[in-house]
Structure 1
Amino acid sequence: MVPCYESISGSCRRELLTFSIRFPMYMFMVLAILVTVCGNLLVITSIAHFKQLHTSTNYLILSLAVCDFLLGGFIMPCSAIRSVEGCWYLGDFFCKIHTSTDIMLSTASIFHLSFISIDRYFAVCQPLRYRTKITPVTILIMIIISWVVPGIFAFGMVFLDLSIKGIEDFYYEQVDCVGGCFVIFSKASGVVTSMISFFIPGFIMLGIYLKVYLVARKQARSIKDVFHQFHTDTGISR
């Protein structure tokens, strides 16, 4: 174990990895970053360029792609270096910016997916009411909520130290050190974060897509019965 900063008291200590371990790790992470950035950039360019793709669902997908593009282009590289090197060399303030943005973009992604599921619900289950329910204003509100709510939540949790509420002594005495960038949650903040960032939007998506599946299966059976009755009445063999 070696310190991140040899000349600074209270420096974090890290395990010095050999080149044979670090090189494959960097290669894998660079590949993951390139796939994430290029894939989402392709989606952004396609939807922005082709007018026939300017639909309500695709605007949500465009916003989701921007979110994931930022995650891959700005968050993943810093996280990759920290994971391989074992230290954070960009300072405490940028650590908070990085952590807040990471939580915000991750939460925003699942918010977008939840709203896309709502859009698909009206398209499949209530197609006659789709255009009156899913209007451009509705889509704009969905996109704003998907960015603003995760942003307020993430930056508030980190910059107001709400994530370590109740365990401040443990964090500053046992965890905090120079050259580290740690994401620590108390039990209460961990539960709140999990509910807002994953469980609530996740259960919404699960419930909606289950309903969509049941309605789609019912419609498929109805169509099959209509064709079967048609062939029976006309005597046409299939």
Structure 2
Amino acid sequence: YCLSPSPSILQTYACTVHGDLNISVFEINIMELPVKDNQSVQYCFYPGNISFLLETKLYMCLYIFSALTVLLTVSGNLFVIISISHFKQLHTPANVVVVSLAVADFLIGLIIMPFQFSSAIESCWYFGDKLCTCLNGLYLFLTSASVSSLVFISLDRYLAVCNPFFYNAKVTIYKTVFIVLLSWLSSLWYILAYMNSDGNYIRRDCVGDCYFVFTAAWGLADLFCTFILPFSIMTCLYARIIMIASRHAKAINFVIEKENSTQNRKSKIPKSEKKAAKTLGIVVAIFMLCWLPYLLMTVVLEYIPYASKALNQYHDGLGFISLINSGLNPIIYALFYPWFRKSLKIMLSCKIFSPGTSTLNLFPNSICTCSCGCDRSQLLHLVSCGM
């Protein structure tokens, strides 16, 4: 039984599900340890041969790292939300999707991360079954909304580069808001269907534990919807964007050379192409690196029972890494762009409270004639401008 910590009892447990009967087995091994003042504590650890208490220094390092991760995630996404909401120049269809992503990641950092990190470090859930159910459902919902926002950002880039006339004429803020709200409602519907349909998930009623187990059908469906499909879409769209951007760069360079334009303008095209390719490559790579190990481990634990005992101890650690993706998104999608750095300086210096700051020009050194801050003729810049 997993209770609040105290210094004298070491508790380990194992929870398994057998066959189709969904029988939970709970094993407890308690070892009395001598401690000053005759105090006692109970610790929970993963099943297997792990039977040690983490050193105090390691606990402190893990909690400090967790606190910094939460702070980075919450503050980073909050800065993105405030920047785009406050500065009118950033009120564009593309930035509506960026705000959607930032809101999902902000809520993950504010609500989900503290409980998940604490549970992972302590190897025990201290917050009750009701909160466990609510947080698991909320986490699945926010993760789904975050992934859908990533897909919409890649789709926005694709339309801006491959069909710029359609993008400028048809893609509006109101239409984008409607699509974003629809994606959030779809994510909510998916999670409610998962949580409320009989037989779609198994609640492992192990004391001191908090997680749900997908059935085989829902496990494959969730893997397809949360990783395989969005990753495939983003990869295809980004590959197409890079191809089109390269083609545009060559065409523009050919026209520039033919018209004997200045060398200064000529040199900007390859630089923008390189920046676009780098940023989009980071987007795909970070998403894959953060989520692929965790999802693969989940599949292995579900379909290879004999591997569960050896690998289960690493599952929460990989989940820890997947959570960090929410803190990296503001860096990937915002910190690389000049408008965010300038707006961040304005916020940190408290100048944001001054009258008239909402109409400041965040692109003073660029040609800004379209909604995203780029010249319409420079199609390649649509990829790398302020989203």
Give the TM-score taking structure 1 as reference length. 0.84
Match of 1:34 among 71, 75, 85: 71
Q: Does 1:72 align with 2:143?
A: no
* Superposition CA RMSD, Å: 2.3
**Corresponding residue number in structure 1 for 2:183:** 146
Q: What fraction of aligned residue pairs are identical, expressed as a percent?
A: 36
Shift of 1:21: 2.1
User: Offset of 1:227 from its aligned partner?
Assistant: 1.9
Equivalent positions of 1:166-177 (< 5 A) are: 168=202, 175-177=204-206
Instruction: Please say if residues 101 and 155 of structure 1, whose CA atoms lie closer than 8 Å, have aligned partners that are also in contact.
Output: no
Q: Compared with structure 1, are the counterparts of its residues 11 and 78 closer, same or farther at alpha carbon in structure 2 (3 Å cutoff)?
A: farther
> How far apart are the structure 2 equivalents of 1:162 and 1:152?
17
Please give the residue correspondences for 1:124-203 in structure 2 after superposition, counting only pairs within 5 Å.
124-160=161-197, 162-164=199-201, 168=202, 175-203=204-232
Q: Which amino acid aligns with 2:59?
A: R
Q: Decide which structure has greater helix share.
A: 1
Match of 2:123 among 74, 78, 86: 86
1:63 aligned partner: 100
Q: Secondary structure at the match of 2:254?
A: helix
Instruction: Report how far residue 128 of structure 1 moved.
Output: 1.0
Q: By how many angstroms is 1:70 displaced?
A: 0.2
SS of 1:184 mapped into structure 2: strand
Choose 153-162 or 95-104, whichever is displaced more: 153-162
- Write the deviation string for residues 155-204 of structure 1: whole angstroms up to 9, x where unpaired: 3323446543xxx5xx6xxx431221013222221110011112112211
Conserved? CA contact 1:5–1:11, under 8 Å:
no
Distance in 2, matches of 1:145 and 1:56, equals 15
- In structure 2, the residue matched to 1:222 is 251
- Looking at secondary structure, tell me which structure has more strand per residue: 2
* Superposition TM-score, scaled by structure 2 size: 0.53
Structure 1: distance between partners of 2:89 and 2:211:
45
Higher RCO, 1 or 2 (CA under 8 Å, sep at least 6)?
A: 1
Aligned to 1:5: 3
